[in-house]
Structure 1
Amino acid sequence: MNVKFTPFIMLDGQANEAIRFYEQALGAKVVFKQTFGETPEAADASMTEEAKNRIAHSVLIVGGSELFVSDSEPHLRLERGDQVNICITVKEAAEAERLYDALRSDGKVLSPLQSLYFSPAYGMVTDRFGVTFQIFTERS
């Protein structure tokens, strides 16, 4: 099984500030950054300008490790303490489904496993111990 675990920090409108802080404090290098306004969903006329400016995803390199930083989507209400979660990256949707089903057992689904513009199988779940995981499948 080829699985990659990446720490993922989700904030509520402070992602840009956090990215600048991690660049200075940790020597992080930003290799990818996308706002919600740059995603395919941005065509939705109901998205506010504030929402469009939020960070949908960023990848920072610190030493030899990756760190993901984003702002949460407005509909996803994270509690303080939920801001750091683990992104599990797999290559196949079947593996994503297996992991998602195992982790959601006696847990809580935050986002159903589904195909989205950035992943053929993506979902978010908090397990029975209160640990939040994002399950992400790479595009082939």
Structure 2
Amino acid sequence: MQVQPYVFFNGRCEEALDYYCAKLGAQVTFKMRYKEAPPDPQNQPRPGLEEKIMHASVQMGSTGWMASDGHCDPAVGPMSGFSLSLTADDTASAEKYFNALADGGQVMMPFQPTFWSKGFGMVVDRFGLMWMVTLPEG
């Protein structure tokens, strides 16, 4: 069994993926816009979503995850109830990732040594996605 995160960016998916590619080394391995999907008379996207991302597959290090613009509903509240955990290989990488995610976001816990790791910090990035950046003891 495999469990993968599927993150909905409510209209900011392309911007988020471009940012993660530039700052975290993510790679978009597949991307489909709503206009590229086969027509489905039972489930048509509302007008204005044609250029939005219906589905994307993303690779970050050894982890694959998925993303979408979703339905771009202005009534949808902020993302909540989950966080992505990014484990870095070294101090320089951990600090680089944390600072990139904090740029334009909100630091919930500064990146610092803890009793369980060489470094740990929590941040909600500019897209509303919460991240936990960890540098393990080992």
**TM-score normalised to the size of structure 2?**
0.50
* Larger-Rg structure: 2
- Determine which structure has greater relative contact order: mean sequence separation of CA pairs < 8 Å that are 6+ residues apart, divided by chain length: 1
**TM-score normalised to the size of structure 1?**
0.49
| Larger strand share, 1 or 2 | 1
| Larger helix share, 1 or 2 | 1
